Amino acid sequence: MASDMNDYFNKKKSEGGAKKSTGGSGGGGGPKVPQMPKMPDFGSKSGIVYFLIAVVVMLVLAKPFTIIEEGQRGILSTNGKYQDQALLPGLHFIMPIIQKVYTVDTKVRIINYASRLETSARESGIVAKRAITVLDKRSLPVSIELTVQYRLNSEFAAQTISNWGFSWEDKIINPVVRDVVRNVIGKYDAEALTQMRNDLGAEIEAGIRESVANLKNTPAILQSVQLRDILLPTKVKEQIEAVQIAKQAVQKAEQDVQRVKQEALKRAAEARGVAQQARIEAQGKADAITINANAKAKANILISKSLTTKLLQLEQMKVQGKFNDALRVNRDAKIFLTPGGSTPNIWVDTKNARQRTTAK
């Protein structure tokens, strides 16, 4: 059986050789066998040249270098162990297979804690998370919306990745923010939170900064914390609105009282002004009368001092002359003479008993 098999293969081999010989003679029309391209001949240095080419190809395929861009740091791993100093932006050569470089982002990153979640965009450094729900002093649920801006501390980037891993922000920033917000909000009643918005924002930011700074090697640098909104339970909001309405009513009543008081004060001032004006006018009139009386008194005193016996006699003679003139006109007139001439003489027209005339 073995001899038969050997004969069979020898026969096939001889037939194959015959076909090759006929094809190579040029007389037959069989297919031509393709020939391998000849490698260039570099003479005695061909082996060295081929070795160098092989080394270059291996280096290109293995990629023994890496480029760190601006805003990034490189974490060099040698046989699984991270180097303490992060690689700065630029070109860096490494040993393939033995060393590997992991790039981490050191640009500013943002976490938005919101009630309505938007699409997460980790490529652009923005992460959306649910609003932080905590309990107030009376165990009422309150939702806090925040925006936290931070970045990886490039100085200790390698240590941070070594200690916390590449998901360091989920292990550091998010837990710290939630813990600080829970501690701050838990000290106050829900009704007072909206009135303390600015103070709460400052207290939360200070607490987060302190907590992050106290971590080993300060893995992150906090840029800012903005308290965007405080969402209260429906019952609390209704109570606050009722209190606000009551306060507004009280303020309106107080304003009405103040307006009435101002109007009363205005009317009182006007009345005082009118009374003062009347007193001034009465005083003016009284002063005028007094001045007039004093003037007359002084005049009388001066007149009395100026009267003499001869002057009185002269005046009596003037009056007597007037009576004489009157008698010439009316002879029936009666004349009453006062003794001494101290008072005017009186004459009466007898034709008209009602008519009396006093001559001075």
- Highest-confidence range of 105-109, 189-193, 242-246, 332-336, by mean pLDDT? 105-109
Instruction: Give the 3-state secondary structure of residue 217.
Output: coil
CA 198 to chain centre: 9
* AA identity, residue 205: E
For residue 15, the model assigns a pLDDT of 53
pLDDT digits (tens, 9 = 90+) for 159-174: 888 889 888 988 999 9
For residue 252, the model assigns a pLDDT of 84
Least confident window among 11-20, 130-139, 347-356: 11-20
- Quickly list DSSP for 314-344: HHHHHHHHHHHHHHHH-TT-EEEPPGGG-S-
For residue 222, the model assigns a pLDDT of 92
* Closest to 160 in 3D by CA, of 148, 177, 150, 172: 172
Separation between Cα atoms, residue 19 and residue 342, nearest integer Å: 196
Predicted confidence band of residue 30 (pLDDT cuts 50, 70, 90)? very low
- Quickly list DSSP for 36-59: PPPPP--GGGHHHHHHHHHHHHHH
CB contact set of 138 (below 8 Å; sequence gap of 6+): 189, 190
Contact between 217 and 172 under an 8 Å Cβ cutoff? The reply is: no
Least confident window among 81-90, 213-222, 267-276, 345-354: 345-354
The mean pLDDT of the chain is 78
Strand pairing report for 126-130 and 109-114: parallel
Separation between Cα atoms, residue 140 and residue 129, nearest integer Å: 22
Alpha-carbon separation of residue 174 from 36, 198, 256, 318 (angstroms): 65, 22, 52, 128
Give 61 or 84, the one with higher predicted confidence: 84
Q: Does residue 29 have a pLDDT over 90? A: no
Q: Does residue 210 have a pLDDT over 90? A: yes
In the numeric block, which tokens belong to residue 315? 């005046």
What's the CATH class of domain 109-232?
A: alpha beta
Q: Does residue 229 have a pLDDT over 60? A: yes
Predicted confidence band of residue 308 (pLDDT cuts 50, 70, 90)? confident
State percent of the chain over pLDDT 70: 75
Q: Is 198 exposed, middle or buried (0-12, 13-18, 19+ CB in 10 A)?
A: exposed
Helix axes 173-185, 197-213, angle to 10 degrees: 140
Predicted confidence band of residue 208 (pLDDT cuts 50, 70, 90)? very high
- Domains of the chain, by residue range, sit at 60-105, 109-232, 234-291, 309-358
For residue 211, the model assigns a pLDDT of 92
Least confident window among 177-181, 204-208, 341-345: 341-345
Separation between Cα atoms, residue 323 and residue 344, nearest integer Å: 11
- Lateral strand order in the sheet of 81-82: 81-82, 72-78, 99-105
Q: Does residue 146 have a pLDDT over 50? A: yes
Q: Does residue 349 have a pLDDT over 60? A: no
Q: Does residue 24 have a pLDDT over 50? A: no
